[in-house]
Structure 1
Amino acid sequence: MDLVLYAIVYVCDEENRFGSRISQQIFPVTEGKHEKNTSYTFDKVFPPEATGGQVYEGTARSVVEDFLLGYNGLVCCYGQSQSGKSLTIASICIHVLQDIFVHIRQHAATMQYLVRLAYLEVHNESIIDLVGNKSASISLTMDLIGNFILQGHTNEPILSADHALSCIEAGRTKIIGKNGTSHTILRITMERERKNSNSPIHVAMLDIVDLAASHRVTVPPIDKSLLAFGHIIWQLSHHRTTALPYHDSILTQILQPTLTPSASLGLICTAAPSIESVGETHQTLKFASRAKRVRLELSLPVHHGSIQLEIYHRHLDALLSQRHSSDSIDNQIKLELAIRNLRQVILNLSE
């Protein structure tokens, strides 16, 4: 399955090919004495008159459909400042939430759902909770199998689309980074369970991300999280077997469950319609062309499942085998504590 790449670029679609796969020459860029003609290919190019509903249908809708089937998903918007990026994400959020609760109503007779919402800002590698008023600090910890776990943030149970939108609207007033200098993440978690059944609870996660504004590499300061995000996209498009460097930034640690080839991904790029923005537009579209090479292989996330337990049991066996080879009392004590803690984790998952 391909990553679906879209662009909202302000160009004239003279051949009336709106909604189809096209190659659109955005500019010739003059570099010194040489003129460089560059064209980019997208799955959709939306002209200025496109409505929010059209943009949603052509971009995030397929990711939301996968999310409702139980897959993790990621929708993100990338582009320079003043290019309509945040307005695009705001419109998409409305349509996403409406579709989620329509789906819940349609399946209410056989399924029960719990929807939670978290709204976070990553600013200067710090995490800000935009929903709650908690004074406790938000942290990221790594579990035994290398997954980053977000803790200390508000994960609000949501009863309707209007309820969710009111939380988002209140959260926007708390955003610190202005003019696109921070990343905002709307995380929707949906637990579903078949009624009158002993089947396991399925949990899916959808992240909707307004990335910090893009800029040319020559402009300081360079956003660490934006660079790390781009690096993972590059890795996914070139070296899929290589371990992905989520640890490089706070943003990529948070997005670890959804920034992966096993999740459904959609990337929207925005470009400003001015000749002064040609350099930044080129930077944005060059990033997008790399993302176009990402290949996806969707798989349902494992929650409280046998695979995770099997990994923990294997790790426990390895620790037990070291019991008689410890060369000091301190190491033996540390080993016994690790064994006890891991046994408790296995017990909690088995309940």
Structure 2
Amino acid sequence: MEPPAHESSPTIGELGESAVLARVLPRLRSGDASLLGPGDDAAVVAAPDGRYVVTSDMMVHGPDFRLAWSTPHDLGWKAAATNLTDVAAMGARPTALVVSIAAPTDLPVAMLEGIADGLRDALAELAPGAGVVGGDLSASHALTIAVTAFGDLEGRAPVLRSGARPGDLIGHAGARGDAARGLALLFAEARDAAGEPDAARAAAVRDRHPELVGAQLSPRPPVAAGIAASLAGATAMLDVSDGLARDARRLAEASGVGVDFRSDALGADPLIALAGAEDHGLLAAFPPGAALPHPFEVIGTATGEAGRLTLDGEPVDTSGWDPYSGWDGVSG
């Protein structure tokens, strides 16, 4: 794990906006699509296709992350990853991010530098060629990271949620339930006697369960698989952020189909795979008989029962993850 920010780091309130940006911006790159990066009133980004995909997501300290559990690098990485998968789910190539951060004035500047490093490293690994082209910095009692992501369709039609048809294969790429398992470990083992998140205990839990805790704090979604799915003829697709079953229902309702999951394709605990949120995998429908591109795996079939989810033919009820009510799990 990355060590915590050094205690001697000045705060953002002590340095002021201009000095903070002078320390943070050099840690980022603008990306291949940037015609004009940070420095003016707005960036200029190339859109060779004539269209662009755009999405936005926000992370707020408390409901979305805990500073005692996440390193600054984790926060930057996850802020990038959660937006990149939304672009990928449209079958587009991520090109640029705009990142705005509101933070307490006593936040060490080293933490913003760590967030910038996480953004940079996530883009380099998950979306090579994409970069950060601008954003904003403001004050807030709660650390908040807001990202807007752009993508290039490169002449392809966008893959919507609404194109699946009965008989289509339902494929999934990425982890299934790992982030939820990691979060459960943190809640069970990384809190102090008063129930508050504890950094030292979190580090120990992460050392024992690096893949599960890492899946929650710094996910590595299959961003490149979005274009592969589009090229393979995917009829519908979306990012799985609120739970496989909850997001499958969104695809099913948009397409007017049902989804029958196969328990033998969902691992040792199909219910956790269906309910667990924040894996940020990709769920897609493909025509019958299609060869699914790597790393997609067939996990079910589209049926003619609009909006109905089943597991081996039996009804599945899930509420998955809701930012206003949390994770309510799944029953089958």
Q: What's the TM-score, normalizing by structure 2?
A: 0.28
Q: What's the TM-score, normalizing by structure 1?
A: 0.27
State the structure with bigger RCO (CA 8 A, min sep 6), 1 or 2: 1
